[in-house]
Each structure stands twice: as C-alpha cells, then as structure tokens.
Amino acid sequence: MNQIVECVPNFSEGRDHGVIRQITDAIESVSGVQLLDVDPGASTNRTVVTFIGPPGPVEEAAFRAVKAAATLIDMTKHEGEHARFGATDVCPFVPVAGVTMDDCAAIARAVGRRIGDELGIPVYLYEHAASRPERRNLADVRAGEYEGLADKLASPEWKPDFGPAAFNGRSGATAVGAREFLIAYNINLNTTDRRYANEIAYELRERGRWKRTGNVEPFYYKGDVVYFEEGKYPDGNSDFVAGSFEELADFYRETYGGDLRERYRSIGLDPDNLVGRPVYKDGLFTHLKGIGWVVEAYQRAQVSLNLTNYKITAPQEVLEAARDLAARRGMVVTGSEIVGVVPFDAIQAAGRFYLQRMGKSTGVPARDLVTTAAQAMGLDDVAEFDLDRKVIGMPAADGPLVGMGVAEFIDEVSRDTPAPGGGSGGAGHGAGGYCGLGISPGYASIN
C-alpha cells in the first residue's frame, strides 16, 4: 500500500495573494507532493493549505512552507478574526493511507525540531504529538494568542518543545501536531450579529457554555450566569442542585454517563476549587469546537466549527441542529462552507442522510450522493464548491452511456434521470441475464 500523509498548515495571511503563492510554490517545489487546496480568507486574514504525499516529501514540504512564511509574514502587522499566535500558526500531519498516527507524530517532532533549530521559532507540539497531556488541546497551547505570547514564553511551564523560549516578534510561535482528519466547517446565518452566531456555536460545541437563568428564551446569552457556591452545586443541564461536588458528580454520571471531574478539567477549571466559578451547561455534540464570527466579505455571521472526529459527529447532524437552533431564534441558515477539503466518506454519508429523509433510494452513484449533499447543505452559498477539488477520494466522473461497463450502466439506470430509457434498460437486463449477471428487471424501471 502506498504511504500517504496529509498536511494542513494554516498561515496568518489571507489577503496578499502574492505571499500566499510564494508559500505554495515552496510546497510544490518538493517532488512527490500534491497540492490539493488553498483556501484564503480576507476577514480571518488566514490561509488553510492542504497537501498530500509520502512521509519524506511531506515532511520536507512542510518545513519549506514554514520557512517561506517566516520570511514573508510579519506578525507585528497582523490583524484578523481567527485565533492565531504565529506566521505559520498550526502545522498538523494526518494519516491517510499506509501510515499510523504514531508515524505522523514522529514526522511532527522531526519538523518541529527543524523549525526550532534552523529558524529560531518557538514550537509547541500538540494533539497526538504532544509532549505532555496538558498540551494536547490546541486551544490551550494557543491561549493568549500572539499578543500574550511574550508572557507565555517567560513562564517555565510553557517552555516550548523546540526552539528558543524567547519572543520572536516577526514569526511568533508555531504549533506542530498529529491529529485525526479535521473538517473545518462554517454555517452561514442571515445576520451580521456575532452574538447570534456565538449563541448557536456555544449550544453546539462540546465545551458548551455558562449556565444561565432568567431571560434565556429565545437568546440564552441574555440570562444571568449561575455560579457555584458553598454547599450549592447546580447541575448545568437541569434544575438539580447538589450539596457537594461529589454528589453532583454522581448525579452527572448516573444521568448523562459522563465524568464530571474530567469535564471541568477539560475546560481549565479545578473541580476541587469551583466556588465562585461559573457552572457549565453541556454542548449538544462531542468532538466539536466552535465559535461565532462575522465575515465582512460575505456580509454575514458564521458559526465556525471544527469537527475533530466526523465519524462520531457528522457535519449534516450538526447542520440540522444549527438550523433548528437558528429557527427558534428567528434566524435562517442560508448555507454552509467547507474550508479546505473533506473526505469522500463523510460527504457521501451526508448524501445518504438527505436522500433517506426524502424517502429516496441511496443506491445511486457516488457522485450523485455527493451532489445531493452539496445541494442540501448549501455548500456553494458563499464560495464555489468544486467536487473534484474539495472532496478527497472522489471517484472519477461517470462517462457517456456509450462505452459504459456494466457497473457504470447500472449506476446510470439507478438515477432519477430519463436516460438510458426503457429500451436501453431492457437491453442491459437481457444482456445481463444472458451473461449470468442476474440484473433485476426492476433495476431499470423508470417511474
């Protein structure tokens, strides 16, 4: 099996296309690497680049890209909507085929060491490449962003994994990691109010939000925050109030099946020191990060999401929940946007989901499933969604009827289109029966 690694570096430049081009030229200068996608954003002032290849070439291309960004991007002049702390903000490696997560973690460590040693840029390892558990979460590693980086580097507990523990004003710091395939997914709203986008993001994301009471309908953020008090430990999701954290943790485990102690640790709170701290309400989905922002170029707010395990939390499920939350607040979801690329199996599953909702057969060609998903999810609402460029592993386009093999012919007659028609279908059935292929006569019927 061929070994394929994906690399998805994010650069803190989304407006100067000349700079972006020089960075992607550095990537493409390495033989064996295929550039899949370049997704700049003017409002975020950030570009997400996706490329794949064998481990060695991908490792080299990643380093060359970081080196180019360090030369071309000056963080002292950077402004943008997206959280960031470096010219190359993040550089994750993702196993695609013939490689393991451990292999990608080793690549991340090798690239991180080169960045630190050769470029003098502080490097933090994260996710599966993290040097310690508290550095796994990218949000924790990047907390404080560029503006707080100097203070962070001065703290012994935040000494970088590679490179100097000194503030590099021009390049900032870089997070290098190994992770599962992440789908960067934005949901578009018919408003330019960031608070409204946050309202939905906080309901969806795994981290959840502060529990509130009082004026919480239809906008939860307008209520009063609930805090832990001595002898008063409220549940974030119900009216239950415990007398101690232990009692609350038992209730949480029995009611929701979760570990409340770990839950509060994951959001940076000490479960043994919660008095005076806000109570947290759970989000609707696990493996989902989210925040709201406004994209001036689109003239609308977006719910910006990262799906860190799409096999557990699927984009179509999140979208339908967002549509419901928006409608309850008088808003409309106008469509959605995939930043970078998406695996074929994820978008194919979405196509099946929407066909099933319509009461239609899912036994249609793969390309039709993807087209259905793109239309149902409004993936071309704010930018073109090119199936062949945006979907990794997209099967080849169907050919003309003449010259089709049996499998391609069966795909064609499974569609809701008038071609190939009863005559061709009958001929195909007869040929199939003659050859012992056993094609059902109902397969070619057009109703």
Residue in 82, 128, 287, 429 annotated catalytic: 82
Residue 228: half-sphere exposure toward Cβ, Cα within 13 Å: 24
Sheet (strand 333-339) strand order: 288-295, 300-307, 183-189, 333-339
DSSP state of 82: S
Cα distances (angstroms) measured from residue 137 to each of 140, 263, 381? 5, 14, 31
H or E segment and range at residue 292: strand 288-295
The C-alpha atoms of residue 195 and residue 180 are separated, in whole angstroms, by: 30
The C-alpha atoms of residue 438 and residue 406 are separated, in whole angstroms, by: 12
The C-alpha atoms of residue 383 and residue 380 are separated, in whole angstroms, by: 5
Neighbours of 318 (CB within 10 A): 24
The C-alpha atoms of residue 303 and residue 217 are separated, in whole angstroms, by: 20
Q: Which amino acid is at 19?
A: V
The C-alpha atoms of residue 296 and residue 44 are separated, in whole angstroms, by: 9
CB 141 within 8 A of CB 126: yes
The CA angle 98-317-140, to the nearest 5 degrees, is: 65
The CA angle 135-63-143, to the nearest 5 degrees, is: 25
CB 58 within 8 A of CB 99: no
The CA angle 77-82-84, to the nearest 5 degrees, is: 60
Q: Is 304 helix (H, G, I), strand (E, B) or coil?
A: strand
Cα distances (angstroms) measured from residue 195 to each of 219, 303, 352? 10, 10, 33
Examine the residue annotation and report whether 82 is marked as an active-site residue of this protein.
Answer: yes
Cα torsion through 423, 425, 431, 435, rounded to 10: -170
Burial of 181 (0-12, 13-18, 19+ CB in 10 A): buried
DSSP secondary structure letters along 158-200? G--SBS-SS--TTTB-EEEEE-S--EEEEEEES---HHHHHHH
Q: Which residues are catalytic?
A: 82
